[in-house]
Amino acid sequence: MSFWRHRRREADLEEEVRSHLEMAARERAERGEKEEEAKRAARREFGNVELVKEVTRDRWGRRWLENLYEDARFGLRVLGKSPGFTAVAILTLAIGIGANTAIFSLLDGLELRNLPVPHPEQLVRFGAHIPGNDYAALSLPMFQELSRGQKVFSGTFAWWPDIVFDAEIDGSLARADVWGVDNNFYRELGAVPEVGRLFDSEDENLSANAAAQVAVLSYGFWQSRYGGAADVIRKTLKIDGIPFTIIGVTRKGFTGLSAYMEMDVTLPLPARQLFGGEADMQKYLQRRAARWLQAAGRLRPGVTLEQARAQLGSLWPEIRQEMVPPDKTFADLGRFRDLQLKVESGAIVLAISGLVLLVACVNLANLMLARAASRSHEMAVRAALGAGRARIVRQMLTESVMLSVAGTLAGWVFAHWASHGISDFILGEIYSVPAALNLAPDWRILGFAAGMAILMGVLFGLAPAWRATQEDPNVALQHGSRTLGKGTSRLGRRLIVTQVALSLVLLMGSGLFVRTLKKLRDANPGFRTHSLLDVSLHPKPNGYKDLDLVNYYRQLTDRIADVPGVESSGMMRAIFGNVLEWTERIRITGSDAEGLEADFEMATPGFFETAGITLLQGRKFEWQDDDHAPGVAIVSQNFAQKLFRNDNAIGRRLDVMNARNWRNLKIIGVVSNASLYDIRKAQTPTVYLPSTQYKDFMGWPELLVQTSLPPAAIADALRRTVESQGREYVFSIKTVRQNIDRSILQERVTAMLSAFFGALALLLAAIGLYGLMAYAVTQRTREIGIRMALGAKRSSVLRIVLREVIVLVGTGVGIGLPCAFAATRLIDHMLYGVSPNDPVTVACVVGALLAVGVLAAYLPARRAMRIDPMVALRCE
Report the distance separating Cα 410 and Cα 98, nearest Å: 8
Contacts of 334 (CB under 8 A, 6+ apart): 124, 125
Closer by beta carbon to another protein, 15 or else 828: 15
- Residue 385 C-beta: closest distance to another protein, Å: 20
Q: Cα dist. 752→394, 414, 513, 755, 759 in Å? A: 42, 17, 8, 5, 11
d(CA 697, CA 572): 10
- The answer to whether residue 443 forms part of the interface with another protein (CB under 8 A) is no
Indicate the angle between helix axes 49-58 and 2-30, nearest 10 degrees.
Answer: 140
Which of 29, 33, 52, 169 lies at the binding interface for another protein (CB under 8 A)? 52
Nearer to another protein, 50 or 868 (CB): 50
Residue 393 beta carbon to another protein: minimum distance, rounded to whole angstroms: 25
Q: Which is nearer to another protein, 60 or 443 (CB)?
A: 60
d(CA 765, CA 780): 22
b/e per residue 415-451 (b: at least 16 CB within 10 A): bbebbeebbeebbeeeeebebebebebbeebbebbbe
CA 492, distance to chain mean position in Å, is: 34
Is 17 near another protein (CB under 8 A)? Answer: yes
Single out the segment in contact with another protein by CB under 8 A; choices: 45-53, 183-191, 495-503, 519-527.
45-53
Q: Does 15 bind another protein (CB under 8 A)?
A: yes
* Terminal-to-terminal C-alpha distance of the chain: 46
Q: How far is the CB of 43 from another protein (least distance, A)?
A: 11
What is the closest distance, in whole angstroms, from the C-beta atom of residue 48 to another protein in the complex? Answer: 7
Q: Rounded to the nearest whole angstrom, what is the least distance from the CB of residue 50 to another protein in the complex?
A: 11
Strands 153-169 and 172-181 come out as: antiparallel
- At residue 89, what are phi and psi to the nearest 5 degrees? -65, -45
In the complex, minimum distance from the CB of residue 59 to another protein, in angstroms, rounded to a whole number: 4
Quote the distance between the C-alpha of residue 609 and its chain's center. Answer: 38
26 or 585, CB closer to another protein? 26
User: Per rule CB under 8 A, is residue 41 in the interface with another protein?
Assistant: yes
Give me the DSSP letters along 24-62: HHHHHHHTT--HHHHHHHHHHHH--HHHHHHHHHHTT--
Closer residue to another protein, CB minimum distance, 58 or 231:
58
Q: Toward another protein, which CB reaches closer, 18 or 793?
A: 18
Task: Confirm if 625 and 691 have CB atoms less than 8 A apart.
Answer: no
Q: Provide the β-strand partners of residue 181.
A: 159, 268
Binding string, 659-698, against another protein, x = CB under 8 A?
Answer: ----------------------------------------
Among 45, 134, 200, 322, binds another protein (CB under 8 A): 45
The interface region with another protein, picked from 10-18, 476-484, 678-686, 743-751 by CB under 8 A, is 10-18
Q: What angle do CA 93, 95, 100 make, to 5 degrees?
A: 100
Note the maximum CA span of the chain. Answer: 139
What letter represents residue 751's amino acid?
Answer: A
Closer to another protein by Cβ: residue 59 or 482: 59
Kindly tell me which residue out of 34, 37, 48, 822 binds another protein, with binding defined by CB under 8 A.
Answer: 48
Q: What gap in Å lies between CA 357 and CA 93, rounded to an integer?
A: 8
**Residues 58-97: x where in contact with another protein by CB under 8 A, - otherwise, as a string:** xxxx------------------------------------
Among 2, 5, 7, 22, binds another protein (CB under 8 A): 22
Q: Confirm or reject binding of residue 23 to another protein (CB under 8 A).
A: yes
Per CB under 8 A, 12 contacts another protein: yes
SS3 label, residue 783:
helix
Give the residue among 544, 694, 699 at the shortest CA–CA distance from 627: 694
Among 33, 46, 481, 582, binds another protein (CB under 8 A): 46
- Which parts of 578-617 interact with another protein (CB under 8 A)? none
H-helix or E-strand spanning residue 718? helix 711-724
Q: Which stretch binds another protein (CB under 8 A): 38-46, 164-172, 500-508, 649-657?
A: 38-46
Q: If you count them, how many residues does the chain have?
A: 876
Q: Which is nearer to another protein, 6 or 197 (CB)?
A: 6
Cα separation of 508 and 845, whole Å?
6
Alpha carbon distance 601, 656 (integer Å): 12
Measured CA to CA, the distance from residue 516 to residue 816 in angstroms comes to: 22
How does strand 686-690 pair with strand 615-618? unpaired
User: Around 532, how many Cα atoms within 13 Å sit in the side-chain half-sphere?
Assistant: 24
Closest CA to 756 of 441, 421, 501, 427: 421
Q: Give yes or no for residue 11 binding another protein (CB under 8 A).
A: no
Determine the interface stretch with another protein among 11-19, 251-259, 435-443, 486-494 (rule: CB under 8 A). 11-19
If the CB atoms of residues 39 and 298 are measured against another protein, the closer one turns out to be 39
32 binds another protein (CB under 8 A): no
Nearer to another protein, 12 or 200 (CB): 12
Nearer Cβ to another protein (53/251): 53
Q: Give the interface segment with another protein, choosing from 13-21, 93-101, 191-199, 244-252 (CB under 8 A).
A: 13-21
Contact (Cβ atoms closer than 8 angstroms) between residue 285 and residue 270: yes
Decide if residue 19 touches another protein (CB under 8 A).
Answer: yes
Residue 11 CB, shortest distance to another protein, in Å, is: 11
Stretch of 47-55, 201-209, 302-310, 538-546 lying at the interface with another protein (CB under 8 A) = 47-55
Q: At residue 441, what are phi and psi to the nearest 5 degrees?
A: -50, 135
Nearer to another protein, 2 or 154 (CB): 2
Distance between CA atoms of residues 639 and 644, nearest Å: 8
Least CB distance to another protein at residue 34 (A) = 15
Residue number, 8 or 866, with CB nearest to another protein: 8
**Residue 452 CA, distance from chain mean position:** 22
Stretch that binds another protein, among 18-26, 167-175, 671-679, 794-802 (CB under 8 A): 18-26
Number of residues that bind another protein (CB under 8 A): 27
Partnered with residue 128 across adjacent β-strands are: 137
Query: Which span sits near another protein by CB under 8 A: 40-48, 122-130, 464-472, 684-692?
Result: 40-48
Would you say 51 or 324 has its CB closer to another protein?
51
- Contact pick of 6, 10, 24, 695 for another protein (by CB under 8 A): 24
> In the set 6, 26, 287, 585, which binds another protein (CB under 8 A)?
26
**Is 29 a residue that touches another protein (CB under 8 A)?**
no
* DSSP letter for each residue of 288-317: TT---BEEEEEEPTT--HHHHHHHHHHHHH
User: Which amino acid makes up residue 607?
Assistant: F
404, with CB counted inside 10 A (0-12, 13-18, 19+), is buried
Cβ atoms of 258 and 161 closer than 8 Å: no
Site for another protein in 97-116 (CB under 8 A): none
Question: Residue 822, interface with another protein (CB under 8 A)?
Answer: no
CB of 82 vs another protein, minimal distance in Å:
39
Residue of the chain from 47, 80, 302, 839 that contacts another protein (CB under 8 A): 47
* 44 vs 645 by CB, closer to another protein: 44
Three-class SS of residue 770? helix
SS (H, E, C) 114-160: CCCCCCHHHEEEEEEECCCCCCEEECHHHHHHHHHHCCCEEEEEEEE
Considering only the stretches 9-17, 131-139, 400-408, 536-544, report the one whose residues sit in contact with another protein under the rule CB under 8 A.
9-17
Binding mask 555-574 for another protein (x = CB under 8 A): --------------------
Q: Which residues bind another protein (CB under 8 A)?
A: 12-13, 15-17, 19-20, 22-24, 26-27, 41, 44-48, 51-53, 55-56, 58-61
